[in-house]
Structure 1
Amino acid sequence: MNYVSAENLSKSYGVKSLFKNISFNINEGDKIAIVAKNGSGKSTLLKIILGKEIADSGEVSINKDVQVVLFDQEIEFDSQLTVEEFMMTLDSAPIQALKNYHKSLISQDAEDMELAIAEMEAQKAWDLENEMKQILSQLKITDLEAKMGTLSGGQIKRVALAKLLTETRAEHRHVLLIMDEPTNHLDVEMVEWLENYLSKAKITLLLVTHDRYFLDSVCDTIWEMEDQNLYVHNGSYATYLENKMIREDHLNATIDKANNLYRKELEWMRRQPKARTTKSKSRIDAFYETEKVAKTDTRKQALELDFEMKRLGKKILELKNINKSFGEKILLKDFSYSFQRGEKVGIVGKNGAGKSTLLNIIQGFEPKDSGEIETGETIKFGYFSQKGLNYNEEERVIDFIREISENFPMANGRTISASQFLRLFLFDDQTQYSPISKLSGGEKRRLHLMKVLYENPNFLIFDEPTNDLDLPTLTVLENFLLNFQGCVIIVSHDRYFMDRIVDHVLAFEDEGKIRDFVGNFSEYREKIRETRIENQERQAQAKTDEPQTKSENPATSNQKPATKKLSFKEQRELESIEKEMPKLEERRADILEKLNNESDYEKISKLSEELQTVSDELGEKEMRWLELQEMQS
């Protein structure tokens, strides 16, 4: 089934053309990722599909049976609503059926109840409430009575995500889910859960993300937006890179041939008299076409960063017994660490664990409760924070950089001007002389990164650097950091970025404890999984050994207990739930059949209450079954 078709779409803002005459199709089951530099038109294309913007030319057709749903970075909500009330604001027929059913239970009106039950059947909404609670539980949202205004930014994003995924769950509905940077501000555990969910779900998806592990796991098609065109690549991110390289090599070969022909034809053009024949005019037209190809500029402005870093002294940074709490919440407890020259440290942990607080304490932005910090005299911090730029909206980009310095020192002893440095960061002359307020969100992040590096630090601190940076910029930033001789601290949920850069992990755990792990991020995660499995097996072995010790049966004393990922009690619980769930489903189906054939008000009321009880019990069993399955996997 075709969901969306676009023919010859074009869009420009003033003299800047984003894309020209692009065409595409989105079919049921497609999982597509869009890859492009910031400012290439990704967000604009999404807005056109959503109907929030109009293309200059071309046409977008959306199947009348398809609902287009957006998971945006900016989430709108009423702060006074509870989590459950926010979830019930979904604008869908199944949710409306569920609302009407609850109203009929309260009003006890037989006619309303009969209509509500029929609507629940038609919309297949009986399982919707349980599914909603299951998704919330899996996203670690358990207090459904909490006010939205009391939640953290990460919790709000998870609740909004649960609401959206609930909306796409109804099997009889056709939904195109559009997600703009869905992993921003989610911790690693939630990113992995979402990745697993989307990769397995029967869903149609259009995605913008900088997370390459997430992209490869979820999507099977990549749309590349470049030079006003749209290129379609079937396969992984590596396949896209390979195809892109082949295309550019082919273009360069075409330009070389055009250059050779251009030189010959230019000679002919210079010899021609002013009076032209029809035949020569045709050749002249061909000459100008050849000239256009020959003069195509394929040089990509590369973010090549190689600057003269300020020298590091013997003492760099030493933390001794640092403590920090907010009320009863302990963030840091007797934390000590000594940074070495060239060390690249990754900091990980759940949202709210204290990662950003540690960065602020290191730089003196926030006081510690106790402990000592010794910072080397030569240390100059460069801080790339989540908060972004502080700027005057009307200030020009070039002036913003010139306020720091007119020139930038390079490693080879020469200097480059502020304007030349801006070009390295893909800011063309027109953009340089535009107000900062005119930049896109991604371009502002790129300017922020440039400002940090332009100040020439020798100790870089990055707090979620990958948010809103495009993949080309990220790739070059990674290459730069790999060769950076100073120290680097990175707080990030981007697993690919962390794996490429860090060689040491500081992991925030409960009660202010920080685990010190030598290795990259994936190695740390694997070690955590192994430790968890070992603990489960140790618990299972202890349970199995206990009766053997009492019986002291020599025939079995030398046998090793069977390896289990669940404890004995949990395994029995899982087996019990698997037997009970089919019985509850059968009972629920029997109640529904009786409801459909019943006309007596009192019996309908009793059956409805019984149905609610059975559905709740089934939902609880399903959630516990999912928890046990996750522990076992």
Structure 2
Amino acid sequence: MNYLSVENLSKAFGERKLFSNISFGISQGQKIALVGINGAGKSTLMKIIMGLEIPDTGNVAINQQVKVAYVHQNPVFEGSLSIYQTIFDQSNSEVLQVIEDYHKAMLEAERGIDNSEKMAGLFEKMDAFQAWDFEYQVKEVLGKLGLHDTDIPVGTLSGGQRKRVALAKAILEKPDLLLLDEPTNHLDLDTIEWLEDYLSKANLALFMVTHDRYFLEKVTNEILELDQGKVHRYLGNYGYFLDKKAERMMQEDVELEKAKSLYKKELEWIRRQPKARGTKAKYRVDAFEETKEKASQKREERDIQLTVTTQRLGNKIIEIEKMQKSFGDKTIIKDFSYTFRKKDRVGIVGPNGAGKTTFLNMITGQLEPDAGKISIGQTTAFGYYRQEESSFDEEKRLIDIVKEVAEVVNIAGGATITVSQFLTQFGFPPKQQHTPIAKLSGGERRRLQLLMVLIKNPNFLILDEPTNDLDLMTLNTLEEFLDTFPGCLIIVSHDRYFMDRLVEHLFVFEGEGEIKDFPGNYTDFREWEKENKNQDSRIKIQEPENKVAETKVEASTPPSQTKVKASYKQKQEFKKVNTTIAKLEEEKANITNKIAAGIEDHEELIKQSNRIAEIDAELEESELTWLELSELEGIE
């Protein structure tokens, strides 16, 4: 059964054409993701389908027998309504009224109110309406989405909480077709995993805009790519999409080259023909015009390059000693100590409200701890990418906003480029640089926000939900940049793929002020949790202790029977450390032999002696890393 049809849809904003004459349909059982670069028109297309935007041409037809539910990217509700009223505001079902009355009566009974007669009547009604199954589903969905107190007015909720309310409302409506715009934004990792599992098993059709690559891999069975104003369809998940897109791009390159070659030949023929004979070969002249148009096509590749330099980090980076923070009776951080080392790659995980943002604000000096000490090295230069979108002057041009920070930019290799060239590297072509901020899409604004952080050449990057609203191309480029970033890195992200690729250990916020240090990436941590969930004892992760005399804190390892498996990156690092140690020991032996043989030049003798001291320091750090990695399972 066909649920939704999009026919010959076109949309443009002024001279900017988003898409032209696109058509596709959604049928029963299909789970489709819409992907494309920032500014391609994904959110606009979703708004047109949801009836929030009017197309220039074409139409959207929804089967009248199909029940449709929407979850907007930033849901807006009537602020005075409670969570429960918001979720069921459009339903006058007697079943829902009975369930609501039953919940209220249960709360009264828990408070010691004698309402046995009322409860007896409600039990009969629950049986009569066969409401027990639905009541269980309501309880499960609300619980999994963290909506425990449903009497709270939605006007007091955060963006993430409103998103949970919108998801609960959509799921409990039991739609045939569910439309989702960036469903994982603002959700914590546990909720995302539950939603992913639910949607992969749910008997419904799904159409969503998302950049969550694990979501794309595990939930979808089809991907639509909006590229250059056209829709390309891929009958498979994310892995299949990557393979087939690469094939499509290669095929388009081949066809473009053929068109250019044919165009040259036809151009010669056109020039040779006398004007009087032009009517005899009109079909060929028309074909020439088509070939000319095809040969003139240009693929607007947005080649993003992140090549900024970083300031040199000294030996002292950040030292945290017995840090504590509370808000009223709620303990956020209790007695936490840690010494950051060079090239630290730390992921931060924990439920919403556990104190992750508070922790970041304290180490960057924007919030004072209640007790303890945070000591920042003199050479440490922070770059803080915040979860909240930066506010820019909507009337100002893009290039003027960036020029307020710097006129020129130092990039990797020591070269200097203009702000305009830097913007071009970030995927903002010269034509777009002179447009007002107001015309940027949500993803383009986030990319500008990232640019404003990197232009200052930080050596300690803090990224709080950096993947929100960024397209797949930007994410891949950002990951490649961070993979070779020479400074320190802290990442808070709901994007599991992003975390798995970049972090080497985790600060796990367990609540009640407890922060544990786990040696591994997010998938390692989840696998370890699953292995230990049936054990009586809690998972014990050694707390990091501040050891000022050392350059790093020894990361703890799980008990021997549940050793954490080494990731691919850790295995590669172990091989590299082995090679480094061998080279350093060989260099030290050669210098020692050289000194023993006698060096007459006094300055050379001092130089070689200093080099031995440097080698000893490098060996100590490398050996500590070797010891840490050698404890992981799979290291050879």
**Measured at CA, do residues 325 and 248 of structure 1 come closer, stay the same or move farther in structure 2, by a change above 3 Å?**
same
Query: What is the rounded CA distance, in whole Å, between the counterparts of 2:99 and 2:479 in structure 1?
Result: 54
Deviation at 1:487, TM superposition (A): 0.9
Give SS of 1:43's match. helix
Correspondence 1:412 to 2:413:
yes
Query: What is the rounded CA distance, in whole Å, between the counterparts of 1:87 and 1:281 in structure 2?
Result: 65
What residue identity is the alignment partner of 1:512? Answer: G
Correspondence 1:163 to 2:178:
no
CA contact (8 A) 2:505 2:520 kept: yes
Matches within 5 A, 1:464-475: 464-475=465-476
Query: What is the rounded CA distance, in whole Å, between the counterparts of 1:301 and 1:144 in structure 2?
Result: 45
Q: Could you tell which deviates more after superposition, 499-508 or 413-422? A: 413-422
* Runs of at least 5 residues in structure 1 that lack an aligned partner in the other structure: 107-112, 169-173, 539-633
Matches within 5 A, 1:87-102: 87-89=87-89, 91-92=90-91, 95=93, 98-99=96-97
Correspondence 1:305 to 2:306:
yes
Correspondence 1:317 to 2:315:
no
Query: What is the rounded CA distance, in whole Å, between the counterparts of 1:323 and 1:125 in structure 2?
Result: 48
**TM-score scaled by structure 1?**
0.77
What does the per-residue CA deviation read over 1:346-389, in whole Å, with 9 as the maximum and x for residues that have no partner? 01111011111111111111111111122121221111101221
The residue aligned with 1:376 is 377
The residue aligned with 1:619 is none
Give SS of 1:10's match. strand
Query: What is the rounded CA distance, in whole Å, between the counterparts of 2:300 and 2:23 in structure 1?
Result: 26
**Measured at CA, do residues 101 and 132 of structure 1 come closer, stay the same or move farther in structure 2, by a change above 3 Å?**
closer
Deviation at 1:312, TM superposition (A): 1.5
CA contact (8 A) 1:132 1:163 kept: no
CA contact (8 A) 2:99 2:131 kept: no
Query: What is the rounded CA distance, in whole Å, between the counterparts of 2:299 and 2:447 in structure 1?
Result: 22
The residue aligned with 1:545 is none
* Runs of at least 5 residues in structure 2 that lack an aligned partner in the other structure: 106-120, 540-636
The residue aligned with 2:205 is 204
The residue aligned with 1:128 is 134
**Measured at CA, do residues 415 and 103 of structure 1 come closer, stay the same or move farther in structure 2, by a change above 3 Å?**
closer
Deviation at 1:536, TM superposition (A): 7.1
Query: What is the rounded CA distance, in whole Å, between the counterparts of 2:184 and 2:315 in structure 1?
Result: 39
Deviation at 1:270, TM superposition (A): 3.9
Query: What is the rounded CA distance, in whole Å, between the counterparts of 2:152 and 2:165 in structure 1?
Result: 11
What does the per-residue CA deviation read over 1:411-452, in whole Å, with 9 as the maximum and x for residues that have no partner? 123222212222222223332111112212121111101111
CA contact (8 A) 2:160 2:185 kept: no
The residue aligned with 1:83 is 83
**Measured at CA, do residues 408 and 270 of structure 1 come closer, stay the same or move farther in structure 2, by a change above 3 Å?**
farther
The residue aligned with 2:582 is none
Deviation at 1:233, TM superposition (A): 0.7
Query: What is the rounded CA distance, in whole Å, between the counterparts of 1:429 and 1:243 in structure 2?
Result: 31
**Measured at CA, do residues 279 and 242 of structure 1 come closer, stay the same or move farther in structure 2, by a change above 3 Å?**
farther
Give SS of 2:536's match. helix
Deviation at 1:21, TM superposition (A): 1.2
Deviation at 1:92, TM superposition (A): 3.9
**Measured at CA, do residues 530 and 233 of structure 1 come closer, stay the same or move farther in structure 2, by a change above 3 Å?**
same
Deviation at 1:332, TM superposition (A): 1.1
Q: Could you tell which deviates more after superposition, 178-187 or 283-292? A: 283-292
**Measured at CA, do residues 275 and 395 of structure 1 come closer, stay the same or move farther in structure 2, by a change above 3 Å?**
same
Matches within 5 A, 1:314-353: 314-353=315-354
Deviation at 1:73, TM superposition (A): 2.6
CA contact (8 A) 1:302 1:424 kept: yes
**Measured at CA, do residues 100 and 361 of structure 1 come closer, stay the same or move farther in structure 2, by a change above 3 Å?**
closer
Query: What is the rounded CA distance, in whole Å, between the counterparts of 1:502 and 1:101 in structure 2?
Result: 45
Query: What is the rounded CA distance, in whole Å, between the counterparts of 1:393 and 1:136 in structure 2?
Result: 38
Q: How many residues align?
A: 520
The residue aligned with 1:62 is 62
Deviation at 1:131, TM superposition (A): 2.5
Query: What is the rounded CA distance, in whole Å, between the counterparts of 1:291 and 1:297 in structure 2?
Result: 12
Query: What is the rounded CA distance, in whole Å, between the counterparts of 1:152 and 1:250 in structure 2?
Result: 47
What does the per-residue CA deviation read over 1:4-58, in whole Å, with 9 as the maximum and x for residues that have no partner? 1122111111111111111111111211111111111111111211222222112
Deviation at 1:282, TM superposition (A): 3.6
Give SS of 1:509's match. strand
Q: Could you tell which deviates more after superposition, 72-81 or 333-342? A: 72-81
Deviation at 1:151, TM superposition (A): 4.5
**TM-score scaled by structure 2?**
0.77
What residue identity is the alignment partner of 2:408? Answer: N
Matches within 5 A, 1:160-559: 160-168=166-174, 175-298=176-299, 300-535=301-536
Kindly report the root-mean-square deviation, in angstroms, between the aligned alpha carbons of the 2 structures.
2.7
What residue identity is the alignment partner of 2:228? Answer: D
Deviation at 1:96, TM superposition (A): 5.8
Query: What is the rounded CA distance, in whole Å, between the counterparts of 2:96 and 2:506 in structure 1?
Result: 47
Q: Could you tell which deviates more after superposition, 263-272 or 382-391? A: 263-272
Give SS of 1:205's match. strand
Deviation at 1:280, TM superposition (A): 4.4
**Measured at CA, do residues 102 and 71 of structure 1 come closer, stay the same or move farther in structure 2, by a change above 3 Å?**
closer
What residue identity is the alignment partner of 1:23? Answer: S
CA contact (8 A) 2:228 2:300 kept: no
Query: What is the rounded CA distance, in whole Å, between the counterparts of 2:356 and 2:177 in structure 1?
Result: 36
**Measured at CA, do residues 143 and 60 of structure 1 come closer, stay the same or move farther in structure 2, by a change above 3 Å?**
closer
Query: What is the rounded CA distance, in whole Å, between the counterparts of 2:29 and 2:411 in structure 1?
Result: 50
Query: What is the rounded CA distance, in whole Å, between the counterparts of 1:483 and 1:411 in structure 2?
Result: 12
Query: What is the rounded CA distance, in whole Å, between the counterparts of 1:537 and 1:313 in structure 2?
Result: 38
Query: What is the rounded CA distance, in whole Å, between the counterparts of 1:379 and 1:274 in structure 2?
Result: 74
The residue aligned with 2:52 is 52
Query: What is the rounded CA distance, in whole Å, between the counterparts of 1:87 and 1:60 in structure 2?
Result: 27
**Measured at CA, do residues 182 and 297 of structure 1 come closer, stay the same or move farther in structure 2, by a change above 3 Å?**
same
The residue aligned with 2:572 is none
The residue aligned with 1:137 is 143
CA contact (8 A) 1:50 1:68 kept: no
Query: What is the rounded CA distance, in whole Å, between the counterparts of 2:323 and 2:223 in structure 1?
Result: 46
Query: What is the rounded CA distance, in whole Å, between the counterparts of 1:464 and 1:536 in structure 2?
Result: 32
What residue identity is the alignment partner of 2:140? Answer: Q
**Measured at CA, do residues 412 and 265 of structure 1 come closer, stay the same or move farther in structure 2, by a change above 3 Å?**
farther
Query: What is the rounded CA distance, in whole Å, between the counterparts of 1:149 and 1:54 in structure 2?
Result: 29
What residue identity is the alignment partner of 2:361? Answer: N
What residue identity is the alignment partner of 1:88? Answer: F
Query: What is the rounded CA distance, in whole Å, between the counterparts of 2:417 and 2:181 in structure 1?
Result: 36
Q: Which has the higher helix share?
A: 1
What does the per-residue CA deviation read over 1:72-115, in whole Å, with 9 as the maximum and x for residues that have no partner? 132333444333333331x246x366449989999xxxxxx9xx
What residue identity is the alignment partner of 2:402? Answer: I
